[in-house]
Amino acid sequence: MRGLPILVSIILFSISLVTSKSYPNSVVDNFLQCLPKHYRNPSKPIAKAIYTPTHPSFQSVYELHTYNLRVLTQANATHKPMAIVAALHESHVQAAVICAKESGLLVRIRSGGHDYEGLSFSSSVPFVIIDLSNLRSIKIDMKTETAWVQAGATTGELYYRIAEKSNVHAFPAGVCTTLGIGGHFTGGGYGNMLRKFGLSIDNVVDAQLINAKGRILNRKSMGEDVFWAIRGGGGTSFGIILSWKIKLVRVPPKVTVFQAGATTGELYYRIAEKSKVHAFPAGVCTTLGIGGHFTGGGYGNMLRKFGLSIDNVVDAQLINAKGRILNRKSMGEDVFWAIRGGGGTSFGIILSWKIKLVRVPPKVTVFQVAKTLEQGATVLVHKWLQVSHKLDKDIFIRIMPVTVAGTGNGNSTVRVSFIGHYLGRTNRLLPSVNASFPELGLQRKDCTEMSWIESTLYWAGFPNGTSTDVLLNRVPNKVFFKTKSDYLKNVMPKAGLETLWKVMMEIGNMWMQMSPYGGRMAEISESETAFAHRAGTLYLVQYTAHWSEGSSEATKKYVELMRKLYAEMAPYVSTKPREAFLNYRDLDIGSNNTDFEAAKVYGAKYFKGNFQRLAEVKAKIDPHNFFKNEQSIPPFPSF
């Protein structure tokens, strides 16, 4: 401890050389001098967690968990942080909250780095990054079929740890295994089991959140309104989510996947270490940070069966604006509600989640069928739109249209992959799908049976036979991209599909995905968690343009083309408001972090009728609006 002030002095001197043009020296000095006064674990000195611009590892740490090169390039030019606190202990997060608040600095909270608009690592005003990726503990209790998952874990890690324990348990979350649990859950957390189990947030039973005072609250202490808000309301408006408590779901030992298409990976890995019949419903991307993934809801391919990740969270740890660590009890049910889908960064910094594992069969089935426009894809998609949300909740069929080279004349076309996941074996899947959707022509040769943990690799795009150890890889692929989202309440007519294909081919480098709801998603009320897109919602649509050129001209070109596509789709999607998915962050739909009325522009799109309640929760836990970003939730003015 004696050497720490000297080390901090060295940091202060070196950072002043490079930040004098951007930040007043006094602000920098105050923040760094404050940090060692507020951490409480001598075995993990906070000096080892601090990265300033002159640190040799600063740039690599800054870019490590950031994969959208479009926003990273912009941030590198103008919006880099004063410092990064890569927390090694909960008290580091508390100290960073307290000291940033005292120094008048904004905080950005990053778990997996999948924020599509870079709000977890950039800002136009002086700020520091609190990086939660080292806080990735996953503790699974098979007796209660629950798990505590820290916000820095990925969906891949969660799936891995579930599979270690059981081959018939799982968790409904995203198919991307690099999703950070922290952000994934606060946005809802959807995946390929959502029709069976709902979103991730539908399986969240508690959380720990740090509020603007630096206190760690659990579900009880944050209150049910905050607990509601963080499950689908985007947690960063309410605090920093440290961890989620989730309940696992049961799945078959083998499931079927079909395609006609911690980090989450770490979470899955740890579950698989314990059980072959337990899982967790979260994203398919295995590099998603659990922290952000859960606060956005956390959806994956089991959402129809088990709901969202947040629907399976039972507790959480959160650091509030005073630097206190709160669990569900101490944060209170209102805060616990808010961080499950309300975007945790509006309310505090979530350190960990306690999740309830779900039971899955020892075998599941996956399959893939692909058709181009010339092979009748339009007719197939139109039929899929009519039936896929009505199928048995054990069945999840996503479509992924992508632009590809055409044949003969050199023009491009669109290929649509129908990618399926079934919580059971092929002999039960085929009669069900072929009775409701015979046009797909699904055959046994299209299907593969595997364990649930193996299916997470399939959905993440890994080749058959890949070791599950890949789930522990936290580094996502980096690419320039722009994403927008929509919700469908009605079946899109063929004319709408033809318009969609036309604009996709004009853009060129583009892919989409449409995910069916129904099932468990339709059984949970809009107000149960902060994630409001439930009954009446048929499909979630994601549009993504990607490119390799790093020029501003290329970025402008593709962003404008995406805006054109978005405008063309207006007649066919939800209206009043035109709804959007929080974890597909899109600054085009509005930005404001201080005025409630102005924030309604994007708040109503992300949260529908839950936005005012989220703002009321915000007024309770963070009345001075310490936790804010361009699309955070401001305090309700008269609450």
Active-site residues, by number, are 584
Integer Cα distance of 135 and 568 in angstroms: 43
DSSP count for the chain of H helices, then E strands: 21, 33
For the four alpha carbons of 286, 303, 496 and 441, in that order, the dihedral sign comes to: positive
DSSP string, 334-372: HHHHHETTS-TEET-EEEEEEEE-EE--SBEEEEEEEEE
Radius of gyration (Cα) for the chain, nearest Å? 22
The backbone torsions φ and ψ at residue 389, rounded to the nearest 5 degrees and listed phi first, read -80, -10
Integer Cα distance of 620 and 443 in angstroms: 55
Q: Which residue has the tokens 């950005």?
A: 108
DSSP string, 169-234: EEEEEEEEEEEEHHHHHHBEEEEEEHHHH--SBBSEEEEEEEEBTSEEE-HHHHBHHHHHHETTS-
Q: Which residue has the tokens 């959905």?
A: 459
Residue 56: strand, helix, or coil: coil
Q: Going by C-beta distance under 8 Å and a sequence separation of 6 or more, which residues neighbour residue 312? A: 171, 172, 197, 198, 200, 201, 202, 203, 204, 205, 246, 247, 248, 249, 280, 281, 306, 355, 356, 357, 358
* Parallel, antiparallel or unpaired: strands 188-193 and 273-277: unpaired
Which amino acid appears at position 409 of this protein? Answer: N
CB atoms within 10 A of CB 284: 36
Closest CA to 369 of 289, 254, 448, 312: 448
Residue 132: strand, helix, or coil: coil
Integer Cα distance of 341 and 225 in angstroms: 12
The H or E element that residue 259 is part of is strand 255-259
